[in-house]
Amino acid sequence: MAATHVPPQSPIEHAEIESKLTGLRVLVVEDSFLAAASISRMLSDLGCRVVGPVASVDKAVPLIEAGRCDAGVLDINLAGQTSEPIAERLAELKLPYLFVTGYASPMLLSAKQRAHTRIHKPIAERELRDALVSALQKSG
């Protein structure tokens, strides 16, 4: 498969993205240690402040309620339960979020959540950055 050429960002685009992400407190909800570590590292490299990572709804919701995050990166499947309750709480607070998944089908999610930003594992840093910026823009 031929590589897709992605044009480099202009200095203005790069500065705009950097200003949106620098210091952003991003809650990482992922039950795979390796995936959580990878996502956390990428977010840190992008200038974000990582909250967590945590591996369950029970651990994530108190962090949201305490006002500890500005956005969320949520694995869909958390050891047999979905992250949908986390997504719903973030949405109620008008906080942006995106889903990450190793599954091709979004059927674990409700119809309302299926339309939300979703990226597939394995994740590249640029893909994560673009999805997070998109989620931020959609939220206001």
Q: What is the pLDDT of residues 33-55, one digit of tens each?
A: 999 999 999 999 999 999 999 99
> Which residue from 96, 36, 23, 39 is spatially nearest to 64, judged by alpha carbons?
96
Could you read off the pLDDT of 114-126 as tens digits, one per residue?
A: 566 778 899 999 9
pTM for this predicted structure:
0.84
Mean pLDDT of 50-70: 97
Domains annotated for the chain, with CATH where assigned, are 21-139 (3.40.50.2300)
